[in-house]
A and B are shown apart, each in its own frame.
Chain A
Amino acid sequence: MDGRIFKVRRDTVINPRTGHPHDMYVLEQSDWVNVIPLTDDDQVVMIEQWRHGTRTVELETPGGLMDEGEGIEAAARRELLEETGYAPAKVERLGTVFPNPAIQHNRQHYVLATGCRKVAEMQLDHAEDIIVRLVPLRDVAGLIRTGKIMHGIVIGGFYWLDMYRRG
């Protein structure tokens, strides 16, 4: 399968213990970037959007696929502007993880964007339907605990932010 977002690759591997072949599947796609955008009064610029996999509306931080040859910070600024209309004064890398090494080979980069301000209207593609929400950073832990933030990649980003702030 070859789609806009990912390709499915099938590898046939032989188990050295049994000598039997079996198929392994890998979702091939470009790296992802996820931004934690903070305003000067420590509010997180979050987005609420429909997620077809779970058929639910999820509260998330902005992010998306990196374009070919695009740098991490540039992708973070672009995604933030497109999805929220906000621009940061400064961006810093927080960390990188494998989003799901069982079936994906790509990486997920986290970026902290500070001094964010609204500078433009959102530029959404045809499949996006997004509402921007300003959420006080101090409320995020409670939102995770009560299941209002359920997206694992987003929760990972807040963990990286917590480590960053603790030094």
Chain B
Amino acid sequence: MADVVAKLNEVLADEWACVRVLRRAEALSDEPGQLEVLKRVRKDCSLNCVTLANAIRVVGGRPTDIPSTRFTLKLTPESFADATDMVQSAQRHIIDGIGTLLDEPALKSVRSQLGQIQQLHKDDVRWLGSLLQ
């Protein structure tokens, strides 16, 4: 079980990173339409953090509140496209990470929540991608 909790916490750390980098992207945007999309996606990611934290508690673990280093690396200077690209990279990694966990027998009780998080990210990747076109 400890192995599964560790993997869920890695996903949660990447999810916290999404929230942090989305805030950076918001600070780099002055276009109201873009800002609205970023805020909506950040809200989704924040909700995912809560859902994941609850799932970790359900399986007996302790959720992390520290964003992953890998997806919070910041380019200097950082452009709006750089920050948004980083969020997309993290989201794709989360989608894959959850994909490897869905069939874990130990996570049967939280499978539907994980599936919802994965679907939310799939939708948001497309949505965020439209900002970069």
Contacts and interface: CB of A to CB of B under 8 A. Distances in A.
Interface string A128-167: 0101000000000000000010000000000000000000
A91 to B, nearest CB: 27
Q: Chain A contact residues: over half helix, strand or loop, or mixed?
A: strand
A56 interface: yes
Interface of B: 10, 68-71, 73, 85-86, 89, 92-93, 96
Contacts of B70: 49-50, 57, 129
A55 B86 contact: yes
12 contacts: A50-B69, A50-B73, A52-B73, A55-B85, A55-B86, A55-B89, A56-B89, A56-B92, A56-B93, A57-B89, A57-B93, A129-B70
Secondary structure class of chain B's binding surface, majority of residues: helix
Contacts of A57: 70-71, 89, 93
A50 B17 CA distance: 14
B77 to A, nearest CB: 16
A52 B85 CA distance: 12
Contacts of B71: 50, 57
Given A50-B71, A55-B86, 4 more contacts: A49-B70, A55-B85, A56-B89, A129-B69
A143 B37 CA distance: 33
B32 to A, nearest CB: 27
B115 to A, nearest CB: 19
A148 B96 contact: yes
B128 to A, nearest CB: 14
The 7 A-B residue pairs with the shortest CB-CB distance in the complex, in nearest-first order: A50-B70, A129-B69, A57-B93, A129-B70, A55-B89, A56-B89, A57-B70
Contacts of A49: 70
A93 B68 CA distance: 36
A57 B10 CA distance: 12
Interface in A11-68: 49-50, 52, 55-57
Nearest to B90: A57
A131 B10 contact: yes
